[in-house]
């Protein structure tokens, strides 16, 4: 009984500290069987979370704007400046952004290429950079000034987002604590010499307590995460 409780606690801690369960399930559903079998479960579980991927794209957009301004100040043409700035950085998705650098180097439609490379999350900077590019091409205005202002705006938005994330760290920790409380309760009961699993799965009253507890715990986790998500929406 103690071993089962310890196993449950370890599983809860893994869920609390490990990769997002939703991302793992979605990846398992949409990924092909051959891909999963070749890369194995560790590769699947080590995939970056959507939040981290979005943060990486936002940081890349800021660095790209800074590099583009520097290259334009050095006297390069817009296409060459973007190509050089991109080559000096490592985007979160190298394959997706390689086409942008190639289009910029060849003098093609850079704005359209930027929009094609925009990720599902964290690509706001690239969208605005594409808008700046189109305005510069249409009006003949200085691209460097537009991108410099864009970079400053992106840095301010990122600073605000990080401050908000710091303020929401407490509610997020509360949601994680709610997720592991049932397993910790089982561990404590087993440590006191009780048989919580026999009661929960072997008696009608225990089954009722189990279902009610899981329902309330799940509702608490869902509600806390919902509040955090709504509070974070203005900065996303």
Radius of gyration of the chain from its Cα atoms, rounded to whole angstroms: 25
- Cβ count within 10 A of residue 101: 21
Instruction: Work out the widest C-alpha separation in the chain, in whole angstroms.
Output: 79
Residue owning tokens 């409780």: 5
Residues near 170 by beta carbon (within 8 Å), at least 6 away in sequence: none
DSSP string, 132-196: HHHHHHHH---HHHHHHHHHHHHHHHHHHHHHHHHHTHHHHHHHHHHHHHHHHHHHHHHHTT--H
One digit per residue, the tens of pLDDT, for the chain of length 236 reads 444 444 444 545 444 444 443 343 333 333 433 433 334 444 434 445 778 888 899 999 999 999 999 999 988 888 889 988 988 888 888 887 888 888 888 888 999 999 998 998 888 999 999 999 999 888 877 899 999 999 999 999 999 888 888 888 887 787 787 778 778 878 887 787 777 788 788 888 888 888 888 888 888 888 888 887 777 765 44
Report yes or no on whether pTM surpasses 0.85: no
CA 41 to chain centre: 20
């Amino acid at each position: 009984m103690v071993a089962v409780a310890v196993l449950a606690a370890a599983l809860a801690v893994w869920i609390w500290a490990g990769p997002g369960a939703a991302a793992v399930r979605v990846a398992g559903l949409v990924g092909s069987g051959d891909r999963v079998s070749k890369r194995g479960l560790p590769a699947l579980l080590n995939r970056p979370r959507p939040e981290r991927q979005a943060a990486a794209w936002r940081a890349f957009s800021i660095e790209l704007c800074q590099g583009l301004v520097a290259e334009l100040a050095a006297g390069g043409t817009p296409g060459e400046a973007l190509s050089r700035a991109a080559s000096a950085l490592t985007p979160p998705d190298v394959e997706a952004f390689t086409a942008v650098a190639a289009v910029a180097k060849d003098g093609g439609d850079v704005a359209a290429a930027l929009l094609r490379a925009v990720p599902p999350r964290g690509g706001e900077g690239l969208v605005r950079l594409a808008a700046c590019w189109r305005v510069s091409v249409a009006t003949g205005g200085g691209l460097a000034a537009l991108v410099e202002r864009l970079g400053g705006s992106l840095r301010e938005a990122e600073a605000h987002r990080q401050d908000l994330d710091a303020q929401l760290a407490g509610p997020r920790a509360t949601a994680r604590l709610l997720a592991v409380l049932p397993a910790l309760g089982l561990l404590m009961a087993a440590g006191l010499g009780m048989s919580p699993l026999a009661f929960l799965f072997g008696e009608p009253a225990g089954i009722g307590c189990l279902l009610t507890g899981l329902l309330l715990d799940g509702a608490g986790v869902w509600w806390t995460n919902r509040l955090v998500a709504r509070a974070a929406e203005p900065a996303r």
